[in-house]
Amino acid sequence: MLDDFYLDVREGEIVALLGPSGCGKSTLLRCVTWLEPPDDGFIEVGGKPFGRTRVGAGVIENQSRTAIDRMRPSIGLVFQQLNLWPHMTALENVVRAQCVVLGRPRAEAERRGESLLSRLGLGAFAKRPVHSLSGGQRQRVAIARALAMDPAVMLFDEPTSALDPELVGEVLALLKTLASQGTTMLVVTHSVGFAAALANRIAFMEGGRIVEEGAPQSLLASPRTERLRAFLQHAAPERLGTVAPVAAG
């Protein structure tokens, strides 16, 4: 549940949402994509209202399902479970949504898919079924599928939760590459080290609200609230090495 929640993510910024289980991090991503419509409040993507808008003085109107579906591809969401089609090839996973949702000609969608998979180091695996790929490779297919829709912002729900330490570093390197290219990202994670290595800004959540936010170095070194201090004291030791935060855009 979210309560009196406000977050502004600037273009090209990487914001990590940190907090204990049940604090509302994943719920936020589902609200932002209107998979779970919020009871109140407003969402804007690229300066445009999404899901609900003001149409006059004191008049609020929910957008039609058609309008929501038209705008939803501008928000790329990589689920924790990835939600790939395991029997299809990596390329088909990237192509299918482009054709069905965006209406792209198949030849164009294939060119876009092949380019993205090659860019993510999966060119040699494009024709392999997803079930035969490693966890890190499947993660990259899911990212390629989201990027193929040319989103204004990328959302990641616990991108490292099911990966071993070696693959965590692989995913971190990939997201750092996207960050260096100016990709706007909102990343939900339990990992303090991952958030510190990737984000320009960390927002710490508790009880559906942002309790504290700021630049990773200052926030983690000198937390202002007792709740964040307690969370950091109980955070499991992480081995991501010493990685400098990524500058946006």
* pTM for the model: 0.84
Q: What is the pLDDT of residues 128-177, one digit of tens each?
A: 999 999 888 898 899 899 989 989 899 999 887 766 777 777 778 888 88
Higher pLDDT, 125 or 47: 125
Residue carrying the six token digits 């604090």:
23
β-pairing, 185-189 vs 153-157, is parallel
What domains can be seen in the chain, in order of their start residue?
1-78+152-249 (3.40.50.300), 85-150 (no CATH)
Which CA distances in Å does 88 have to 62, 68, 170, 172? 36, 28, 24, 26
Task: In whole angstroms, give the CA distance from residue 33 to residue 45.
Answer: 10
Q: What is the pLDDT of residues 14-30, one digit of tens each?
A: 999 999 988 999 999 99
Least confident of 34-48, 112-126, 154-168: 154-168
Biggest CA-to-CA distance, the chain: 56
Q: What is the pLDDT of residues 208-236, one digit of tens each?
A: 999 999 999 999 999 999 999 999 988 75
**Residue 240 — pLDDT band, cuts 50, 70, 90?**
very low
Element (H, E) at 156: strand 153-157
Task: In whole angstroms, give the CA distance from residue 200 to residue 217.
Answer: 9
- Residues 184-214: b if buried by 16+ CB within 10 A, e if exposed: bbbbbbbbbbbbbbbbbbbbbbbebbbbbbe
Sequential DSSP letters for 58-101: TEEEEPPHHHHHHHGGGEEEE-TT----TTSBHHHHHHHHIIII
Query: What is the structure's pLDDT at 133?
Result: 93
- Residues 95-110: b if buried by 16+ CB within 10 A, e if exposed: bbbbeeeeebeeeebb
pLDDT at 127 over 60: yes
Q: Using an 8 Å Cβ cutoff, are 86 and 130 in contact?
A: yes
Measured between its terminal Cα atoms, the distance across the chain in Å is 32
Give the DSSP letter of residue 131: G
Q: Long-range contacts: 106-115, Cβ < 8 Å, 24+? A: 109/148, 112/148, 113/144, 113/148
